Every structure is written in structure tokens, then in C-alpha cells.
């Protein structure tokens, strides 16, 4: 017989209630931990895809508006620019009629390597992309999703240009979560001329790689100044900022979800407090007897508080473990279910795990504090008077 | 002249009672103790200037009707409550000047408590229930367990040590409660209606056991009871009514009423 045994025996007194409270706190901690990974996960995702020397140049009115193709050549001449590639949305659908299941763009094959050296695309694949006018470079995620391999032939039906293109996969973009597909701009251009007598003529986004990361602001300003008061003014931003804006709506959603999570945590706190209060009230006579046989108030208080703290902390550990399993599960599924999007990037860091555990400790301490204090401070004679 | 009444109906003055108990220094002494409860603007005088002495090694009953103040007096002597005025001395310690925490520490060392409804912890075995007060000592786990087993052997439940309260009869539960009261070897054992929730046979067993604690172990026992059978087991009975300790003729009449009740109305068979 020791204090721990006493605390544990009291926790096991009503197994169903203890189990339910354990489950509620576990799930709440799991939810909170998972959602806390979102901001960090998004940041990590942006860092993983964004380079600090790459900037996007697009129409000031928004990325759905185009820029004249001539802008690309002008941008390449700006001092400090190491390379620039114009990308145009192709919006090709594969098999599933009218539905674009991966992003695909027409790009200038000869400039891709200069702008994306960090992607690690094999030189042979880049060479083949330049050589074959119907060539396509495909992101690894899309390769895996459709079971494609280099040499396969596919047809994409454009939802943007009302044209079908037969393509030959000549290489892979070796980024694990990259779904993107690049096709030759000149191939699309020729096909459009043949179909409607008019070429492409536009780009949607010009991706620019700079020589010096310290001159990013200066070069962006130079580019935007160059096209000021033109028919299509430009807005330049870093790659991280570009993708950050792209995920902007998701961030707003996360803010709402975090708010809901906070409310859930508050609800669980109230539930846990109510449970602790009920558990203590049911044992009023036993607590009175403990005090009568000489247990000091601080010991009674500590043992009662220890019950809720032990319950909630162990539930917190379980919740963090569940969140860990859940995020790893999502990560595994994200490779085969692209619709999970950035959810597959969210992994629990030690800091987030610690926050989850801290939440459970706080819930345990706060929920047990008031009822334990109330039971402990009541004079033993008063307790007996009420009970017997 | 103040009177106390022995179980056999003999009347003693307080001074004589002290002489009867071989001039021992009293273990328990109260001096003009009063306890007043306040309910809003109302004052309830539960105990009114009660003075008494109880020698060490005696088995004493507090008797009286409901609301007479016997439980209030017991609470004061057990250090569960503090008087509104007067002095309470037990085992050389003045209790009325101690605060709540000091009283708790004092109870842990000097008092064993027995309750009407046993009040065992249902999720602990008999041994763990008995060992509970020993958590407040510096004894290690093995020694606590050993002492709990000794206490259970004294009450004849050594073979029920691993049983939980729900698996014990009412009489057995009360014997476990007695072992719990005994395990710290206290100066004073205080029992509040210990037979109140038991049938006649179990009540006799409990009263015999308490008597044996007095005779074999020299324990001082104070028992609050309505049970007239208790008179056969105790050394002396204090009668209370409306918060006062009855003395003289009043005490004698109260005592006789209880004896008559115990005899089923045939007074001549009981009185000497």
C-alpha cells in the first residue's frame, strides 16, 4: 500500500467513466497536436519547394491574367538574372474527361535547367526534353500515381486551349511530392498555329532564378519598374511568397480550425473538471474519513489532484502517440492520394508534441484543482456534519 | 453534588470515580466545554459547559437521545472539532488551541476512529484499508503491511486480509475498521455507534472485541451509542441530554431507563 496505489485504485473505481474521460482527452490532444502541425507543416512545405533565389513574375492583376511572351526575353536581360522560363497553363486532363488531376504547363525546354537546377533533374532527361518536341517531364508523384515510366506515351486534353497533345515521357522531375508536368512550349505553339492560325503569344508566370540571393528585392523592383505603365504591369514576388499566397486560403482555414481547436480544448477542460468534481463528490465520506484518521489537507489535496493529473497526462501521451500515427499515416497515403495535398507534409515536431503534453497536464491540473481544493479545505467536522 | 453512574447502576461523584480508577491521571479531561453552532442568526448550543475526566485504560460509553450532544462531545475528544469555549485535554495535549492541520497530525498519532457505517475504502483490500493510517508514518511498505496483518489477526480476520470490503459481511467490515483504528497503536480509540448498523450477534461480537482491546491491550475507548447492550461491556457511562452532562438523580433515571429498555421492561431482572 502506497500513495500511488491509492491514486490508481481510485482512478480504477469507475472504469467506464475513467475510460471515457481518457478517450475524450486523448482525442482532444490528438486533434490539437495535429492542427498545431499545420502552420509549421505549411511553412516546411513552402521551404521544401521554394528557393530563396527564385522569383515569380506575373500579371499585377493576378496569376490568371497573362503577360506578353516578349516579357520573358526582356526579363532575361535584366542584370542579376541567371535564367528565366515562361510557363503557360495547359490544363491538360488525362483520361478523366474535363478534369485536371495534376498541374501541367507549357515551358521553354531550353531554359528549364537554368531556372530549376535545385530540382536535380537528370541531364539526360533535360537533354531529351529539349530534343523531342513532344517530350514531357513528369513529377515523381504523378509518375507513381499513374504508374508511368520514361518512354511511355500519353495524351493530354487541354481544358484551356481546346486541343489534344500526344506526349512522350522523356524524364522525371525527381521531387517526391511533385505532381507537375511540363510540356514543350514550342510543341503547343505549333499545334495552335496549325489549328487556329495563331500561336501562343503569352505566358502566365515567368519564373526567374537570380545570381545573388541578396539582390532579390532589387531585381524584383527593377523588373516591375521595367513594365510599369505598360499594357500588362507585373508583380514580382519570391517563390515562397508566391506559394504562400497560393495557400493563403488554407491558412485562413487553419486559423478557423485552430480557433475551433481551442474551443474543443476548453470544452474538454470543462468535461474533465466536471468528471473530477463528480468523482470527488461521490467519495465525500471517504475523503472525510481520510482526514479524520489524520491525513493532512495538503496530502488529501495532492492525492486528489494526482488522480486528474495522472489521468489527463497519460491520456495526453496517448493523444500525441495517436497524432503521430495519424500524421505518418497521412504522409504515407499522400503519396498515392494527391488530393490530400499539403496534409501529407504535416509531421509532429518535438515542440508540437511538447505543446500537446503541456495541454494535457494543464487540463489535468486545472480540472482537478477546484474540486480537490474544495474537498481538502473543508474542515473535517463540517464534512462529518454534512455526511453522517 | 455531581453524579456519574456505573454500568451496574451505582452512583459516584466525579471525585469518587477518579478514586475508583486507582487515582490515575485522566487520559481525557474537559473543562467547561461548550460547542455552539451558528445557522444564520440562530445559535444552537450543542454542548453546554461539560466537564469530565476519563482515566486511561477505560471503556466508556456516551449515551443519550439524538441531539443530546454525545457525538459533538466525541468529536471534540477525538480532535475532529474544536470547542467554542472551554478546554479539551487528551493524552497530555490541549486540543482546543490546535489548528486544523495540527489536529490532523495529532489524530494520526493518538486517535483511532471507528464509524457506524464502517467507512472502508471500497477499492482497497482489507489489509490496505488497515494500513491506510500508516501511510502517515515513516514506516516502509513491508513494515506497514506487517503491522496491518497483526491488527487483522487481533480482530480475527487474518485470513480475510486480501478480501475487498464488498466481499465481507457487515460485522467483518466493522472488525476491519477496528483493526484500522488499532494499527497505529493510539492512546485513544473513539467509536461512533459502532453497533448501529449491525445485527444483534455481530453487535455482541464488536462490543466483546472492544472490551478485549481494553482488557488485553489497555486501550482507552470512548463509544457513542444508543445500544443498551453496551452497558454490559463498558466501565462507565456518561449520560447526556440537551448538551449537558447529566448528574445525580437525572443521570440515575436516564441510566435506569436504558437498563429497562435493555431488559425489555423487566427491571427487576437487571437492577442489582
Q: Which residue of B has its CA nearest to A383?
A: B80
- In Å, how far is A385's CA from the nearest CA of chain B? 10
A4 contact B CB<8A: no
Q: Where are the domains of chain B?
A: 56-79+99-264
CB contacts of A289 in chain B (<8 Å) are 113, 115, 119, 121
Taking an 8 Å cut-off on Cβ atoms, the answer to whether B145 and A2 are in contact is no
CB contacts of B119 in chain A (<8 Å) are 285-286, 289
Report pLDDT for B268. 38
pLDDT along chain A (388 residues), means of 10: 85 89 90 80 67 88 91 94 94 83 93 91 94 94 91 93 93 86 95 90 94 89 94 90 70 76 84 86 87 91 92 94 88 68 72 90 89 88 70
Handedness of CA B76, B79, B82, B88 (dihedral sign): positive
- In Å, how far is B240's CA from the nearest CA of chain A? 19
Report pLDDT for B18. 46
Q: Which residue of B has its CA nearest to A8?
A: B123
Give pLDDT tens digits for B35-52.
998 888 888 899 999 999
CB contacts of B138 in chain A (<8 Å) are none
CB contacts of B82 in chain A (<8 Å) are 381
Q: Which residue of A has its CA nearest to B104?
A: A294
- Reduced 3-state DSSP string for chain B: CCCEECCCCCEECHHHHHHHCCCCCEEEEEEEEEEEEEECCEEEEEEEEEEEEEECCCEEEEECCCCCCHHHHHHHHCCCCCCCEEEEEECCEECCCCCHHHHHHHHHHHEEEECCCCCCCCCCCHHHHHHHHHHHCCCCHHHHHHHHHHHHHHCCCHHHCCCCHHHCCHHHHHHHHHHHHHCCCCCEEEEECCCCCCCHHHHHHHHHHHHHHHHHHCCEEEEECCCHHHHHCCCEEEEEECCEECCHHHHHHHHHHHHHHHHCCCHHHCCC
Strand partners, B112: B189
CB contacts of A5 in chain B (<8 Å) are 128
Query: How many CB atoms sit inside 10 A of residue B240's CB?
Result: 26
**How many interface pairs between A and B have CB atoms less than 8 angstroms apart?**
84
Report pLDDT for B230. 87
A249 contact B CB<8A: no
Taking an 8 Å cut-off on Cβ atoms, the answer to whether A6 and B116 are in contact is no
Out of B101, B109, B123, closest to residue A10 by CB:
B123
CB contacts of B133 in chain A (<8 Å) are 293-294
Taking an 8 Å cut-off on Cβ atoms, the answer to whether B121 and A295 are in contact is no
Taking an 8 Å cut-off on Cβ atoms, the answer to whether B148 and A1 are in contact is yes
Q: Which segments in chain B show pLDDT lower than 70?
A: 1-24, 261-272
Report pLDDT for A13. 86
Taking an 8 Å cut-off on Cβ atoms, the answer to whether A297 and B75 are in contact is no
**Residues 292 through 351 of chain A touching chain B, CB cutoff 8 Å:** 292-297, 299
Report pLDDT for A332. 78
Interface test with A, best of B46, B78, B104, B106 (most A CBs within 10 A): B104
- Reduced 3-state DSSP string for chain A: CCHHHHHHHHHHHHHHHHHHHHHHHHHHHHHHHHHHHHHHHHHHHHHHHCCCCEEEEEECCCCCCCEECHHHHHHHCCCCEEEEEEEEECCEECCCCCCCCCCEEEECHHHHHHHCHHHCCCHHHHHHHHHCCCEEEEEHHHHHHHCCCCCCEEEEEECCCCCEEEEEEEEEECCCCCCCEEEEHHHHHHHHHHHHCCCCCEECEEEEEECCHHHHHHHHHHHHHHCCCCCCCEEEEEHHHHHHHHCHHHHHHHHHHHHHHHHHHHHHHHHHHHHHHHHHHHCHHHHHHHHHCCCCHHHHHHHHHHHHHHHHHHHHHHHHHHHHHHHHHHHHHHCCCHHHHHHHHCCCCHHHHHHHHHHHHHHHHHHHHHHHHHHHHCCHHHHHHHHC
Q: Which residue of A has its CA nearest to B78?
A: A292
**Residues 227 through 246 of chain B touching chain A, CB cutoff 8 Å:** none
A373 contact B CB<8A: no
B44 contact A CB<8A: no
Report pLDDT for A66. 93
User: B56-79+99-264 sits in which CATH class?
Assistant: alpha beta
Taking an 8 Å cut-off on Cβ atoms, the answer to whether B115 and A388 are in contact is yes
Report pLDDT for A247. 67
Amino acid at each position: 500500500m502506497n500513495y500511488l496505489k491509492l491514486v490508481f485504485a481510485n482512478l480504477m473505481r469507475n472504469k467506464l467513466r475513467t475510460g471515457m474521460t481518457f478517450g475524450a482527452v486523448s482525442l482532444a490532444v490528438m486533434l490539437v497536436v495535429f492542427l498545431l502541425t499545420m502552420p509549421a507543416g505549411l511553412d516546411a512545405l513552402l521551404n521544401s519547394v521554394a528557393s530563396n533565389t527564385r522569383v515569380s513574375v506575373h500579371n499585377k492583376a493576378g496569376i490568371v491574367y497573362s503577360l506578353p511572351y516578349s516579357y520573358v526575353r526582356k526579363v532575361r536581360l535584366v542584370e542579376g538574372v541567371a535564367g528565366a522560363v515562361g510557363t503557360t497553363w495547359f490544363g491538360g486532363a488525362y483520361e478523366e474527361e474535363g478534369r485536371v488531376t495534376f498541374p501541367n504547363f507549357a515551358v521553354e525546354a531550353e531554359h528549364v535547367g537554368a531556372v530549376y537546377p535545385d530540382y536535380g533533374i537528370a541531364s539526360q532527361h533535360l537533354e531529351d526534353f529539349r530534343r523531342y518536341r513532344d517530350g514531357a517531364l513528369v513529377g515523381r508523384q504523378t509518375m507513381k500515381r499513374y504508374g508511368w515510366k520514361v518512354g511511355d506515351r500519353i495524351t493530354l486534353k487541354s481544358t484551356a486551349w481546346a486541343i489534344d497533345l500526344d506526349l512522350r515521357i522523356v524524364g522525371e522531375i525527381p521531387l517526391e511530392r511533385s505532381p507537375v508536368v511540363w510540356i514543350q512550349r514550342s510543341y503547343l505553339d505549333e499545334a495552335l498555329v496549325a489549328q487556329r492560325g495563331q500561336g501562343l503569344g503569352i505566358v502566365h508566370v515567368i519564373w526567374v532564378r537570380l545570381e545573388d540571393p541578396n539582390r532579390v528585392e532589387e531585381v524584383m523592383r527593377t523588373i516591375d519598374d521595367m513594365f510599369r505603365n505598360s499594357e500588362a504591369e507585373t508583380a514580382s514576388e519570391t517563390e515562397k511568397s508566391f506559394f504562400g499566397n497560393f495557400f493563403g486560403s488554407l491558412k485562413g482555414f487553419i486559423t478557423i480550425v485552430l480557433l475551433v481547436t481551442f474551443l474543443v480544448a476548453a470544452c474538454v477542460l470543462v468535461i474533465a473538471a466536471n468528471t473530477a468534481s463528480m468523482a470527488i463528490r461521490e467519495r465525500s465520506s471517504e475523503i472525510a474519513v481520510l482526514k479524520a484518521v489524520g491525513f493532512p489537507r495538503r496530502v488529501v489535496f495532492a492525492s486528489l489532484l494526482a488522480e486528474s493529473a495522472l489521468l489527463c497526462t497519460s491520456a495526453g501521451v496517448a493523444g500525441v502517440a495517436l497524432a503521430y500515427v495519424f500524421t505518418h499515416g497521412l504522409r504515407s497515403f499522400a503519396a498515392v492520394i494527391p488530393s490530400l495535398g499539403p496534409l501529407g507534409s504535416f509531421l509532429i515536431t518535438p515542440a508540437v508534441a511538447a505543446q500537446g503534453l503541456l495541454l494535457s497536464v494543464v487540463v489535468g491540473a486545472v480540472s482537478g484543482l477546484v474540486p480537490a481544493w474544495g474537498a481538502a479545505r473543508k474542515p473535517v467536522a463540517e464534512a462529518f456534519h454534512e455526511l453522517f | 453534588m455531581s453524579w456519574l453512574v456505573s454500568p451496574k447502576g451505582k452512583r459516584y461523584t466525579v471525585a469518587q470515580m477518579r478514586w475508583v480508577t486507582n487515582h490515575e491521571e485522566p487520559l481525557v479531561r474537559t473543562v467547561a466545554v461548550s460547542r455552539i453552532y451558528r445557522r444564520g442568526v440562530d445559535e444552537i448550543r450543542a454542548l453546554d459547559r461539560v466537564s469530565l475526566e476519563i482515566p486511561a485504560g477505560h471503556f466508556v460509553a456516551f449515551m443519550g437521545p439524538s441531539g443530546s450532544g454525545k457525538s459533538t462531545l466525541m468529536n471534540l475528544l477525538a480532535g475532529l472539532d474544536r470547542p467554542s469555549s472551554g478546554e479539551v485535554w487528551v493524552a497530555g495535549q490541549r486540543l482546543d488551541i490546535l489548528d486544523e492541520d495540527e489536529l490532523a497530525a495529532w489524530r494520526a498519532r493518538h486517535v483511532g476512529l471507528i464509524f457506524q457505517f464502517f467507512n472502508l475504502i471500497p477499492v482497497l483490500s482489507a489489509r490496505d484499508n488497515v494500513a491506510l493510517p500508516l501511510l502517515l508514518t515513516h514506516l516502509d511498505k513491508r513494515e506497514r503491511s506487517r503491522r496491518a496483518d497483526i491488527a487483522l489477526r487481533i480482530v480475527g480476520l487474518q485470513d480475510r486480509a486480501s478480501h475487498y470490503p464488498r466481499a465481507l459481511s457487515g460485522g467483518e467490515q466493522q472488525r476491519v475498521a477496528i483493526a484500522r483504528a488499532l494499527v497505529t497503536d493510539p492512546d485513544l480509540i473513539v467509536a461512533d455507534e459502532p453497533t448501529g448498523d449491525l445485527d444483534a450477534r455481530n453487535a455482541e461480537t464488536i462490543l466483546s472485541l472492544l472490551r478485549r482491546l481494553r482488557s488485553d491491550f489497555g486501550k482507552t475507548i470512548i463509544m457513542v451509542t444508543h445500544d443498551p447492550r453496551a452497558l454490559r461491556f463498558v466501565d462507565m457511562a456518561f449520560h447526556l441530554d440537551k448538551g449537558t452532562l447529566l448528574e445525580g438523580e437525572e443521570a440515575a433515571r436516564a441510566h435506569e431507563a436504558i437498563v429497562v429498555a435493555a431488559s425489555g421492561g423487566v427491571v427487576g431482572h437487571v437492577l442489582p
